[in-house]
């Protein structure tokens, strides 16, 4: 496995006749939007293209309109021996779920990612932790390939930018300029953003009230900066859409008294997936890594077997050891 610069990544992409592009499990708009934007360019370049992810069967409802060319295939339909495998927005190979084996069987595996914690898997990796979204890196690749950034492509990239920068609150001037370019290409910001960030069924309100009733504030935790946590039971996790489940952390992290917010989602009888967020003073990627997961300094996650109360104890310990950010 070795790092590659932009030019070499472009050479690998444009040289392949058959390409599989993979996003991480439960793909968000950055993972799927990046895979679709790049997949569309390679498809137009004449390659045979599949876009997929290990779970669930279909993309989240709010992401389905991005696939204008019908490139997405369910994970069981993915070629077993891709000539070129491109893995996007994925920090470690286990985040591919049941498709992790393709990183072994493919002729070449190119990883394109912006996680600081990227493990450097694949035969080649193009990783830039300074990029605010994988979509930023994909736009640079498309420009270097001479691929047109038309409206369907621009929508995919805008969706990635708006999600990973929390509606541009965390975006640099360069990323704002990039967004402006995508708007000039015809993106309707409101139409792309509303289904991604602002749309839930009425039943969401009762789910939220049940889940928020489990919220607890612990002002002494997280190095005295405060921890707020809540849990989502299996009935709501398996019965709801990804959009509703993932909205809970965005409510929790508004808590003024807490630097860190954690939502535990029950994905099995004794198995929980966690989302962690910090406001920028504590490194929650380090805390998640200590628990077998990973992510970004301000947004991370992990999955553990055990009971909710025991996992919360481990979270408190991991946060007590997490580095302060400058």
Q: Which residue in the set 134, 153, 266, 300 belongs to the binding site for ligand 5GP (CB under 6 A)? A: 300
Say which entry of ligand 5GP, Mn ion, none residue 295 contacts (CB below 5 to 8 A, set by partner kind): ligand 5GP
Query: What is each CA distance from 7 to 4, 13, 143, 159, in whole angstroms?
Result: 8, 10, 11, 25
- The Cα–Cα gap between 105 and 126 comes to 20
> Which residues make up the interface to Mn ion (CB under 5 A)?
28, 30-31, 89, 134, 164
End-to-end, the C-alpha distance of the chain in Å comes to: 32
Minimal distance, residue 69 CB to ligand 5GP, in Å: 26
Minimal distance, residue 133 CB to Mn ion, in Å: 5
Q: Residue 89 has which token pair?
A: 């927005």
Binding mask 254-293 for ligand 5GP (x = CB under 6 A): ---------------------x-----------------x
Q: Which residue in the set 33, 59, 82, 91 belongs to the binding site for ligand 5GP (CB under 6 A)? A: 91
Helices 134-145 and 6-15, axial angle in degrees (round to 10): 70
Minimal distance, residue 113 CB to ligand 5GP, in Å: 9
Task: Based on the shown chain and the rule CB under 6 A, indicate whether residue 302 belongs to the binding site for ligand 5GP.
Answer: yes
Q: Which residues of 127-153 are buried (b: 16+ CB within 10 A; e: fewer)?
A: bbeebbbbbbbbbbbbeebebebeebb
Interface segment toward ligand 5GP; rule CB under 6 A; list 69-77, 91-99, 105-113, 186-194: 91-99
In sequence order, the β-bridge partners of residue 304 are 272
> Residue 232: in which H helix or E strand, if any?
strand 227-232
β-pairing, 294-296 with 271-278?
A: unpaired
> Residue 126: in which H helix or E strand, if any?
strand 124-127
Minimal distance, residue 119 CB to ligand 5GP, in Å: 8
Comparison of 16 and 259: residue with beta carbon closer to ligand 5GP: 259
Task: Based on the shown chain and the rule CB under 6 A, indicate whether residue 240 belongs to the binding site for ligand 5GP.
Answer: no
Is the Cβ–Cβ distance between 242 and 32 less than 8 Å? Answer: no
Residues within window 95-114 making contact with ligand 5GP, judged by CB under 6 A = 95
Q: Which residue in the set 167, 303, 308, 317 belongs to the binding site for ligand 5GP (CB under 6 A)? A: 303
Minimal distance, residue 301 CB to ligand 5GP, in Å: 2
Binding residues for ligand 5GP, rule: CB under 6 A, are: 91-92, 95, 115, 275, 293-296, 299-303
């Amino acid at each position: 496995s070795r790092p590659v610069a932009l030019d070499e990544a472009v050479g690998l992409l444009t040289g392949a006749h058959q390409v599989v592009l993979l996003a991480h499990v439960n793909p968000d708009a950055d993972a799927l939007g990046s895979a679709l934007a790049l997949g569309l360019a390679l498809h137009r370049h004449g390659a045979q293209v599949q876009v997929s992810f290990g779970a669930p069967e279909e993309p989240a409802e709010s992401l389905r309109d991005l696939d204008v060319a019908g490139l997405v295939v369910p994970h069981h339909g993915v070629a077993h021996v891709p000539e070129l495998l491109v893995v996007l927005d994925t920090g470690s190979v286990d985040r591919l779920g049941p498709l992790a084996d393709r990183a072994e069987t493919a002729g070449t595996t190119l990883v394109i990612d912006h996680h600081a914690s990227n493990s450097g898997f694949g035969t080649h990796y193009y990783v830039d932790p300074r990029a605010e979204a994988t979509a930023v890196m994909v736009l640079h690749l498309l420009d270097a390939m001479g691929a047109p950034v038309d409206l369907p492509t621009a929508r995919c990239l805008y969706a990635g930018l708006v999600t990973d920068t929390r509606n541009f609150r965390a975006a640099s001037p360069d990323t704002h300029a990039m967004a402006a370019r995508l708007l000039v290409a015809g993106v309707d910001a409101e139409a792309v953003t509303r289904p991604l960030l602002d749309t839930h069924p009425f039943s969401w309100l009762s789910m939220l009230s049940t889940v928020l009733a489990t919220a607890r504030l612990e002002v002494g935790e997280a190095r005295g900066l405060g921890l707020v946590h809540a849990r989502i039971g299996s009935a709501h996790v398996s019965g709801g859409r990804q959009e509703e489940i993932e909205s809970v952390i965005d409510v929790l992290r508004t808590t003024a008294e807490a630097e860190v917010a954690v939502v535990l989602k029950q994905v099995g009888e004794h198995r929980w997936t966690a989302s962690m967020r910090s406001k920028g003073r504590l490194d929650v990627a380090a805390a998640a890594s200590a628990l077998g997961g990973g992510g970004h300094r301000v947004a991370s996650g992990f999955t553990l077997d055990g009971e909710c109360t025991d996992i919360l104890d481990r979270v408190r310990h991991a946060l007590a050891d997490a580095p302060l950010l400058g």
